Amino acid sequence: DADVTQTPRNRITKTGKRIMLECSQTKGHDRMYWYRQDPGLGLRLIYYSFDVKDINKGEISDGYSVSRQAQAKFSLSLESAIPNQTALYFCATRSGFETSDTQYFGPGTRLTVL
Amino acid sequence: DQQVKQNSPSLSVQEGRISILNCDYTNSMFDYFLWYKKYPAEGPTFLISISSIKDKNEDGRFTVFLNKSAKHLSLHIVPSQPGDSAVYFCAAAGAGSYQLTFGKGTKLSVIP
């Protein structure tokens, strides 16, 4: 079984709809991240969480919100989806404080906003 | 302003030859560098990393070189195999940083 899972894997929605992307991990890591990938733009950080009570904005947080329901679960919400939020979304986890600690990524959610 | 740059969107290499993927950075506070590999329909997976106190790190067929004065790093794959065909992301972090800054990626195609 995968260590970091994301649901749904694909989602098509309409402008103005609220949508939630979910991430679960079995690695026991405290740190969790949400990224988006756009063609030709690499990965950009949306939000990150160091533990259940610690949530922080990343580079591109506008239009998004997150919830850390438990150590193992980190959800990303689009309150009112817009077409330029069409992208590939990745959740990631990380074990510790050290810069050298690796981030482990989920398989991604492909979101299309019509 | 892009702090981590991968100026080649794509690269094609014959099987068995060397693949060289390049990455430049502008932020002098970066001191840890990573390469991630991504196959279609999968998340990125960690490949190899290097600390700024080193100029080379090797892991099997993969070697990363760091030139701090030029703010440049490269990933060498020798010999290249068809299974290496993927998108490779360069990423960087500062000391104690909680986040990675990614480049745009280079799509490597290894031709049998």
Residue A102 in contact with partner chain B when CB distance is under 8 A: yes
Nearest by CB to residue B104, choosing from A41, A103, A105, is: A41
How many angstroms separate the CA atoms of A28 and A25, rounded? 7
User: Hey, are the CB atoms on A100 and B51 less than 8 Å from each other?
Assistant: yes
Q: Is A34 on the interface with B (CB under 8 A)?
A: no
Residue A98 has pLDDT above 70, yes or no: no
Integer-rounded Cα radius of gyration of chain B: 13
Q: Is the Cβ pair B31, A108 closer than 8 Å?
A: no
For residue A6, CA distances in Å to A31, A56, B24 come to 16, 20, 32
Predicted local confidence at residue A1, as pLDDT:
57
User: For position A102, what pLDDT does the model report?
Assistant: 81
**Chain position carrying tokens 């990125």:** B44
User: How much is the pLDDT for B33?
Assistant: 94
Q: Which residues of A touch B103 (CB under 8 A)?
A: 42
What pLDDT was estimated at residue B112?
Answer: 94
pLDDT value of position B95: 72
How many alpha carbons lie under 13 Å from residue B24 in its C-beta half-sphere?
A: 7
d(CA B97, CA A10): 31
Q: Mean pLDDT in each 10-residue stretch from start to end of chain B (112 residues)?
A: 90 98 94 93 93 94 97 97 97 81 95 96
The DSSP element (H or E) to which B111 belongs, if any, is strand B106-111
Q: Which residue of A has its CA nearest to B93?
A: A99
B17 versus A103: which is more confidently predicted? B17
- Tell me if A99 and B46 make a contact (CB, 8 A cut-off): no
**pLDDT for residue A97:** 64
A10 in B contact zone (CB under 8 Å): no
Q: How far is B4 from chain A (nearest CA, A)?
A: 10
d(Cα B1, Cα A9) in Å, to the nearest integer?
31
pLDDT in tens, A34-79: 999 998 788 999 999 988 899 999 989 999 999 999 999 999 999 9
